[in-house]
Structure 1
Amino acid sequence: MSTVLIAEDDKQIREALDRILRFEGYTTVPVNDGAAALEAFVEHRPDAAIVDVNMPFVDGVTLTRKLRDRGDRTPILILTARRATADRVEGLDAGADDYLPKPFEVEELLARIRALLRRTDSGAGAPVLVLGDLTLDTAKRMVTRGGRTVDLTKTEFDILEYLVRNAEIVLSRSTIYEEIWGYDFEASSKSLDVHIGYLRRKLEDDGAGRLVHTVRGVGYVARVPDPE
């Protein structure tokens, strides 16, 4: 069974999460601050992590950013008592894969963890997808565009793979949420928009044309840009 790291400084919440996840069959690694979490990532190499935003020594957002900067792509679910959109966007900006505001329902937490763990590597026999000058190797989880390597987070890669597999097909926001996260977010969620924004920034870093297009009022579509 998968190993889940729990980084939460509130003892009651940490112990409750530990009991719930162990009851569900997961191996758990509970720690009470961000510095201990950084060490635990190296020692235990968890399959996923639940990370609180407000922790001593290293906060959850900084922890996530440090992990991404050193190339760690472990799926991260951020817990936060902050409900403002800007606060949630900050966590996604740092490289988190998902967020869950406190207080939360246990079933929703478990559903989100299952969704993160489902998005695993595709295996050695996975195909290489091509769209224009974009090449996406689903086995190695590598993306290149025009010969340039594009470094993506796990969620960014998963979104891009889904869009490219369905190139020229307009995918609704709810369809993408269901496929990538395993459930639909509330209508006001900006999670997908944030990830799409960073995807575009990375894919278009050298002035290349747009591959991921917005269809207003519907969702997104991947297609080769029209020649100028």
Structure 2
Amino acid sequence: MATILIVEDEKPINELIRRSLQTVGHRCISVYDGQAAVDELARNEYDLLLLDIMLPELGGYEVFEKNTRTPTIFLTARDGLSDRVKGLTMGADDYMIKPFEMLELLARVDAVLRRTMKASANESFELDDVRIDFGSRIIYCDHQSVEYTPREFELLEALVRNRNIALSREKLLELAWGYDYEGDTRTVDVHIQKIRKKFGLENRIKTVYKLGYRLEV
């Protein structure tokens, strides 16, 4: 997983972001003003920078200009078109407007990291007797590769990347099938049952009553 610097002066929001990212396995450092961010980036390397624009000491745009080498997602309440265009044309990887859903932030963080992390081709995840190599898209169970359908892989990947978080059936459809999928949510139930049996994850993929599923790690 990635090492992420969170630069947000509102401490409750900073803490919520940090806890959400740590839940799915990322290592996070929090700072609360622009100058502290510049100092931290000078001392340490980060895989991703989550950067508020309106900050004490130095604004987010100034912080970004001093450190363009770190992939960056701007987080801001400034929702004007000119602000979004400025942030993206400066070279930021994404721009999120407050308030936002944590699941959306996790998805966007994951998308940026996939594009930017040098080690992404070698990224893997292990749980019990299962190992997933995301770069090669090979899944091993008891050290033996297991056959799967493309949809099973996408669904399992969505659960892994959002582990310990309850995901609704609708959200799993969106993550694994795409925004334009118009099928029945019972499709998710069928695929979950197949994944549980195929990879021995009956005790790991939990049913969340009246919502969906959660991969417990």
| TM-score class, shorter | 0.5 to 0.7
Residue identity opposite 1:46 in structure 2: Y
**Match among 79, 92, 95 for residue 83 of structure 1:** 79
Identity %: 46
The answer on 1:117 being equivalent to 2:131 is: no
8 Å contact from structure 2 (residues 47, 117) kept in 1: no
- The one-letter code matched in structure 2 to 1:12 is P
- Counterpart of 1:98 (choices 94, 99, 119) is 94
Which runs of 5 or more residues in structure 2 are unaligned?
120-177, 181-217
Describe the superposition over 1:30-78 as per-residue Cα deviations: whole angstroms up to 9, x where unpaired.
000011111111222110010001001111111111212xxxx211000
Task: Please tell me whether residue 42 in structure 1 is matched to residue 42 in structure 2.
Answer: yes
Q: How far apart, CA to CA, are the structure 1 residues paired with 2:179 and 2:5?
A: 22
Q: Given the superposition, is the C-alpha separation of residues 121 and 81 from structure 1 closer, same or farther in structure 2, using an over 3 Å criterion?
A: closer
- Alignment RMSD (CA, Å): 2.1
1:11 equivalenced with 2:7 (yes/no): no
TM-score (norm 2): 0.53
Runs of 4+ in 1 over 6 A off after TM superposition: none
- The equivalences for 1:1-228 within 5 A come to 1-68=1-68, 73-120=69-116
Q: CA deviation at 1:122?
A: 6.2
Given that 1:65 and 1:95 are in contact with CA atoms closer than 8 Å, whether structure 2 keeps it comes out as no
Checking the alignment, whether the CA contact within 8 Å between 1:80 and 1:102 is kept in structure 2 is: yes
* Secondary structure, counterpart of 1:110 in structure 2: helix
Q: Cα deviation per residue 1:196-227 (whole Å; 9 max; x = unaligned)?
A: xxxxxxxxxxxxxxxxxxxxxxxxxxxxxxxx
**Per the alignment, in what secondary structure is the counterpart of residue 119 of structure 1?**
helix
Question: TM-score normalized by structure 1?
Answer: 0.50
Count the aligned residue pairs.
122
Q: Read off the aligned partner of 1:96 and give its amino acid letter.
A: A
Measured in 2, the distance between the counterparts of 1:62 and 1:122 equals: 26
Assess, with a 3 A threshold, how the Cα gap between structure 1 residues 122 and 3 changes in structure 2: closer, same or farther: closer
Partner of 2:192: none
**C-alpha separation in 2, matches of 1:45 and 1:74:** 8
Q: Which structure has the larger Rg over C-alpha atoms?
A: 2
Distance in structure 2 (CA, Å) of the matches to 1:108 and 1:4: 16
Letter of the aligned partner of 2:86 in structure 1?
E
Structure 1 residues without counterparts, runs of 5 or longer: 124-181, 185-228
